[in-house]
């Protein structure tokens, strides 16, 4: 695999980052994941815009222009022959040459930019979309700025492990009795035809797929309510689902061992998945 490090395209064994990189020592970095379908980037502009926001919120300089970012994404997709899969991008505050809590001067310490691809044949035709996934609930013990897409993914990773240990596929975080989101996706329920999902705030990541799906749902005259919901409400809903760049729209059929609706993927999630895949492919670049 050919990967990108600070402007260079290298075989992955030759790509290196310093032990003093703040991403490694302090999880001082942000990331984006853009999916690739038919060799094209899905929602690239949305991901680039959120990246700029994440960097700004952390007082990090933008070390690469929008044009260069897009060119590098395309170059990696081409060089690695990716038809279906993803491009991972990470920007850290760089290597100040030592460990220090004080942010280094961006003039002398440029950010570290890393990109790589993951090939995932069959991503769009995922069998999980036909069966749905099972989730467990766990307390949301992440930091309070979940709207910034930082590389601090230890707690979500622990949540995923807890889900697998419980025989489920993923975990939903719960805070103050309300569902925030999944370990790596936004959470939704459907009741009486209405799509319900938590409103945007610093409590959740502002999903790029979430924005697109809600836009397409509104265009299709579907009813949407952006508000918090409890786990009990989710378990009693007609349908549940999650969205993310790589899962697209994924039905949730069980929550903490309780079947949602009939315990099979529902029509609203199915329709939204179809619309999302069709529309996002049309605007892929
Ligand atoms: N919430 C969290 C916590 C996530 O990690 C992700 C995926 N990165 C999402 C939501 C979904 O965001 P997107 O649709 O932009 O992939």
Pocket test for ligand 1, best of 149, 158, 183, 207 (most atoms within 8 A of CB): 207
How many angstroms separate the CA atoms of 112 and 283, rounded? 30
What pLDDT score does 92 carry? 98
Looking at residue 29, its pLDDT comes to: 98
1-23: b or e for each residue (b if 16 or more CB lie within 10 Å)? ebbbbeeeeeeeeebebeeebbb
In ligand 1, which atom is closest to the CA atom of 156? 3
**Ligand 1 lined by 245 (C-beta under 6 Å):** yes
Given this model, what pLDDT does residue 39 score?
Answer: 98
Q: Determine the Cα–Cα distance for residues 120 and 128; give it in Å rounded to an integer.
A: 14
User: Is the CB of 169 within 6 Å of ligand 1?
Assistant: no
Specify whether 149 is catalytic.
yes
Secondary structure (DSSP) of 6-55: TTEEEEGGG----TT-HHHHH--EEEEEEEEETTEESSHHHHHHHHHHHH
Residues 37 and 73: their CA atoms lie apart, in Å, by: 13
CA-nearest residue for atom 3, ligand 1, is 184
Instruction: Give the start-to-end residue ranges of the domains of the chain.
Output: 2-119, 128-282
What ipTM was estimated for this complex? Answer: 0.99
Which pTM value belongs to this model? 0.97
The sign of the CA dihedral 202, 177, 210, 121 is positive
Question: Residues in the chain with pLDDT < 70?
Answer: none
Catalytic residue of the set 16, 40, 130, 149: 149
Residues ≥6 apart with Cβ < 8 Å to 53: 148
Fold of 2-119: D-amino Acid Aminotransferase; Chain A, domain 1 (3.30.470)
Which residue has the CA at smallest separation from atom 7 of ligand 1? 184
Closest residue to atom 8 of ligand 1, CA basis: 184
Closest to 4 in 3D by CA, of 89, 64, 120, 67: 89
Instruction: Give the CATH H-level superfamily of domain 128-282.
Output: D-amino Acid Aminotransferase, subunit A, domain 2 (3.20.10.10)
Residue 46 Cα: closest atom of ligand 1: 15
């Amino acid at each position: 695999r050919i990967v990108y490090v600070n402007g260079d395209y290298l075989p992955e064994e030759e790509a290196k980052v310093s032990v003093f990189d703040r991403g490694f020592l302090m999880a001082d970095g942000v990331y984006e994941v853009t999916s690739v379908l038919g060799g094209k980037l899905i929602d690239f502009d949305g991901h680039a815009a959120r990246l700029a926001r994440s960097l700004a919120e952390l007082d990090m300089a933008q070390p690469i222009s929008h044009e260069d970012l897009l060119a590098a994404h395309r170059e990696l997709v081409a060089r690695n022959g990716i038809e279906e899969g993803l491009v991972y991008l990470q920007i850290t505050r760089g290597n100040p040459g030592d460990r220090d809590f004080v942010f280094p001067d961006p003039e002398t310490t440029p950010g570290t930019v890393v990109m790589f691809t993951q090939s995932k044949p069959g991503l769009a035709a995922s069998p999980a979309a036909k069966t749905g996934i099972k989730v467990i609930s766990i307390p949301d013990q992440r930091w309070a700025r979940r709207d910034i897409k930082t590389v601090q993914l230890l707690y979500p990773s622990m949540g995923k492990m807890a889900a697998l240990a419980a025989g489920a596929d993923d975990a939903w975080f719960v805070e103050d009795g309300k569902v925030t989101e999944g370990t790596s996706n936004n959470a939704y329920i459907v009741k009486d035809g209405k799509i319900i999902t938590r409103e945007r705030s610093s409590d959740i990541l502002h999903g790029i797929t979430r924005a697109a799906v809600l836009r397409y749902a509104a265009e299709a005259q579907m009813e949407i309510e952006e508000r918090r919901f409890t786990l009990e409400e989710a378990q009693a809903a007609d349908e549940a689902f999650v969205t993310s760049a790589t899962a697209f729209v994924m039905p949730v059929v069980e929550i903490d061992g309780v079947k949602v609706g009939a315990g099979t993927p529902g029509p609203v999630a199915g329709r939204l998945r179809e619309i999302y895949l069709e529309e996002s492919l049309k605007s892929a670049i």
